[in-house]
Structures are given as C-alpha cells and as structure tokens.
Amino acid sequence: MLRRRGAEVIHGPSIRTVPLAADEGVRTATEQLVARPPDLVIAHTGIGMRSWLALADCHGLGDSLIEALAGAEVLARGPKAAGAALSAGLEVVWRAPTETMAEVIEHVLARPSLDGLRIALQCDGGKLDDGIAAVRARGADVVEVPVYRWHAPDDLRPVERLIEQTVGGRVHALTFTSSPALRNFLAAAQAAGHDDRVRAALHGDVAAVCIGPVCAASARAAGIAAPVVPARARMGSMVACLTEHLADRARTFDVDGVTVELRGVGVVVAGERVELSEREALVLRALAEQPGVVLSKSQLLSRCWGDPSADPHLVEVTVARVRRRIAEHDLTVSTVHRRGYRLIGGP
C-alpha cells in the first residue's frame, strides 16, 4: 500500500511470533476448560483464537472445546478476535469500543459479583494485563490459555540496518503494529548504542506511526510524545493516516523564483518530480532548506552521511550528480571557493 503511493519501504522486523507447543500450557488449559466449561471467554487476538482452536483440533479436542465454550459469554477485545470467535460458531456478546484489554477488564470488573466466575482468557504473546490480578482478587477463577509468545527475531541485521538509516536521516516514518514491536525496536536501538539518536529522531523529523491506541500508549510511555495514530486500528487506516501526515509535512521553498517542494526523500522542482538517489535527495534537501546559504562539506557530511569526518570526496561526487539532475529545472548547486556549496536559481 505504501509503495503504491510512491514510498520507499525498508523492512526491519523487531518481533516474531512463536507458537507454543502443547506441553507449554495450551493443551492443559484446554483440557481444564473442557472438563469444567467457563462462564466467560475473553478473546484477546484473532491469531490467538484461531491458533487455540487449531491446536485443540490437532489433539482431538476441537469439538469438545467448541461445545465447552458455546455456553459461555464471549467478550472480544477487537474485531479480529471477534471475527475468529464468530467463525468458530461462538456468539460474541460484547466487543471493546476502544479495542483495548484495559477496557475489557473494566467491563468485567463492572459486574456486581465475580465470585466463583470461571473465565477463559486467551492470552496474547506478552505479559498478562495487571487488571487480571484485580479480576482474580474479586473471586474469579481465571484460566490462562497461552497460545504463542513474542520474541526478538533470530536475525537482528534488518532491524539494525533500519536503526542506522533512521539515525542517518534516511527514514521519515517508522510504523509499529504492536506494542512489543515498538519496545523491541527501542531495545535494539539501545543495544546498538543509538538510543539517544533514535529518540531524538522520533522527536524530530521521523514520525512514529502506531496502528492503534494500545501501541500509541506504549509509545508515550516510552517517551515518544506525539505518535501518529489512525482513527481506526487497521492497517489500511494506518497507511492512509501516514500518507496524510507526510503530505502535511511537505515543505516548499522559493529558490530565486523556482519552487522546490520536499516530500520526504522526493523532490518536486517547478511542478516536475526530479528523480534522485536517496543520498542525492538528502543533499538537495539540506541545501534547499537554506537557499543561498553556504553549507560546508563537513556540514553536508554530518547532515547527509551522519559522519562529519567522512571522506569529503563523497560530497563532491554527490553534488556533481545533483547538479546534472537539476540543471534543466533552472537550479544549480554553486561552489563557493574554500567554503562549500549553496543552492541558487539559474543554470
């Protein structure tokens, strides 16, 4: 969806979902619920509900589990969990309007009595919500059904490359589809020694885009003050929200009567898109943001390569390529002897 809108997408997964084997609790929990059916079922995630029912089938407990759950009230955290329950023939009596586990717990705690209530809780891949302790304290018997766990990826190189590109100024938005993914990304940045620079980027030019309110709350708890959040916690809504956000952040400059518009790494000059490499776009952006102002090679190395001590020849070669690409648009990068470069109008 992002590529269709002209974006360059860099993949840096920070989380993987690992299904649990039967001996890790799911079979035991299933057998307990079949033997003594629950009064209430909390469907936490779509993938979790589907995996639970599939595992039950594998062990010959599928029909017995559906029968045990059929007489219970089913509460769903969100539409995917509700859809998985409905597909299994279970009736969902309530769904959290804000799609948060905290709201599900609040709904359960609002009952006049929980004493003796048996609750089947389909867990997600993280730690249990603190509210479960409050439910148990009210006398409920909560049976946890662990179906999968979230772990860091086996191969950390993709997320490490994404971190390096983020601190190097080559990323304009980071998308997070779950709280654990966000926390793992920040943990990976800290392990790589880039924690401060990543956080500075997320407070500056890099948008932290969270799929929903739960992920956004985790971002704020981690110190990210203004995450971008769609009105609906859906992938399509997140992409549309990100597109609108970046469009609003497009910046336009007048360079001696020539209009230069910066859209992320995209550059539009006098209404025409200029095809540039990522590094060329970074150099032109740095110069366009201060038209007519001389930037030294050291400044451009720091801004566009993230290393002011890098080989100055990198700047010379890149500037030469930028010059060729913008020449037909009445712009040029002028060399100021012993000082650096500036962007001006004219050939």
Least confident residue range of 59-63, 130-134, 242-246:
242-246
Compute CA distances 150 → 77, 146, 243, whole Å: 19, 11, 29
- The pLDDT of residue 203 is 87
Q: Is pLDDT above 60 for 5?
A: no
Long-range contacts of 250-255 (CB under 8 A, 24+ apart): 251/289, 253/288, 253/289, 253/291, 254/291, 255/288, 255/291, 255/292, 255/331, 255/343, 255/344, 255/345
pLDDT averaged over every residue in the chain: 87
Least confident residue range of 21-25, 158-162, 276-280:
21-25
Q: What is the pLDDT of residues 159-178, one digit of tens each?
A: 999 999 888 777 888 999 88
- The pLDDT of residue 316 is 94
Would you place residue 320 in the very low, low, confident or very high pLDDT band (cuts 50, 70, 90)? Answer: very high
Q: Is pLDDT above 80 for 93?
A: yes
Would you place residue 105 in the very low, low, confident or very high pLDDT band (cuts 50, 70, 90)? Answer: very high
Top pLDDT among 239 and 195 is at 195
- Percent of the chain predicted with pLDDT > 70: 92
Which H/E stretch holds residue 126? none
Compute CA distances 128 → 31, 79, 328, whole Å: 21, 20, 60
Least confident residue range of 42-46, 63-67, 109-113, 176-180:
176-180
* Range 44-56 average pLDDT: 91
- The pLDDT of residue 264 is 60
Q: Name the burial class of residue 339, with classes exposed (0-12), middle (13-18) and buried (19+) by CB atoms within 10 angstroms of its CB.
A: exposed
Quick check: 330 and 258 in contact, CB under 8 A? yes
Quick check: 120 and 33 in contact, CB under 8 A? yes
- The pLDDT of residue 128 is 67
Helix (H, G, I), strand (E, B) or coil at 260: strand
Domains defined along the chain, listed by start:
3-14+153-248 (3.40.50.10090), 21-146 (3.40.50.10090), 251-345 (1.10.10.10)
- The pLDDT of residue 204 is 81
* Range 40-52 average pLDDT: 93
Would you place residue 244 in the very low, low, confident or very high pLDDT band (cuts 50, 70, 90)? Answer: confident
What one-character DSSP code corresponds to residue 228?
Answer: B
* Range 283-312 average pLDDT: 88
Residues 6+ apart with CB under 8 A from 177: 211, 215, 235, 238
Looking at the DSSP bridge assignments, the partners of residue 202 are none
Helices (H), 222-302: 235-248, 278-288, 297-300
Encoding tokens for residue 270?
């006098």
Q: Is pLDDT above 80 for 263?
A: no
Quick check: 246 and 172 in contact, CB under 8 A? yes
Would you place residue 330 in the very low, low, confident or very high pLDDT band (cuts 50, 70, 90)? Answer: confident
